[in-house]
Amino acid sequence: ILSISFSVSLLPRCRLPFSSRTFTGACRLLSRMEAAVVRCLPEEPKLTISFCLDGSHKHMQRDQDEALGKVLARISNSILKKHTKAKKSKKNCSEAAEIPAVKLFFMGNELPGTLPNSEAWQNGAVLQVGEVRYNVQRNPPTFTTAELPVSLLAGFPVCPKLEIEFGNLQDCEFTWFRENPPRTRWTPVGRERVHVPSNQDISCRLKLRCTPRDGSCSGPAKELVSAGSVEAGPGVCTFDNRHMYTVKMAEWPAVRVMSYNILADIYAQTDLSKTVLYPYCAPYALQLDYRQNLIKKELAGYNADIICLQEVDKGVFVDSLIPALDAFGLDGVFRVKEKQHEGLACFYRRSKFRLLSSHDIMLSEALTSDSIHAELLEKVSANSTLKDKVLRRSTSLQVTILEDVIKPGRKVCVANTHLYWHPQGGNVRLIQMGVALKHLGHVISEIAPGVPLVFCGDFNSTPNSGVFQLLSDSVIPQQHADWSSSGPEESCSIQLNSGFPPLLSACGQPAYTNYVGGFHGCLDYIFIQPERMQVEQVIPLPSLQEVTTYKALPSVAHPSDHIALVCDLQWNP
**Catalytic amino acids?**
458
- Residues 284 and 271: their CA atoms lie apart, in Å, by 14
Residue 259 half-sphere exposure toward CB, CA atoms < 13 A: 27
Task: Give the count of beta carbons closer than 10 Å to the beta carbon of residue 94.
Answer: 5
How far apart (Å, rounded) are the C-alpha atoms in residues 194 and 327? Answer: 7
How far is residue 63 from each of residues 35, 44, 518, measured CA to CA in Å? 21, 9, 65
CB contact set of 52 (below 8 Å; sequence gap of 6+): 7, 8, 9, 34, 58
Beta partners for 129?
A: 102, 132
**Which of 42, 23, 36 has the alpha carbon at shortest distance from 71?**
36
Quote the Cα angle for 527-562-199, to 5°: 120
Contact 377, 368 (CB under 8 A): yes
Give, to the nearest 10 degrees, the angle between helix 384-392 and helix 426-447: 60
Q: Identify which of 393, 343, 339 has the alpha carbon closest to the alpha carbon of residue 368.
A: 393
Positive or negative torsion for Cα 191, 193, 197, 201? positive
- C-alpha distances in angstroms, 138 versus 8, 28, 307? 15, 19, 39
Burial class (CB in 10 A: 0-12, 13-18, 19+), 458: buried
Strands 342-349 and 353-358, sheet pairing: unpaired
| HEC assignment per residue over 342-391 | EEEEEEEECCCEEEEEECCEEHHHHHHHCHHHHHHHHHHCCCHHHHHHHH
Q: Is-contact 318 275, C-beta < 8 A? A: no
Amino acid letter, residue 412? V
CA distance 512 to 302: 19
CB atoms within 10 A of CB 393: 23
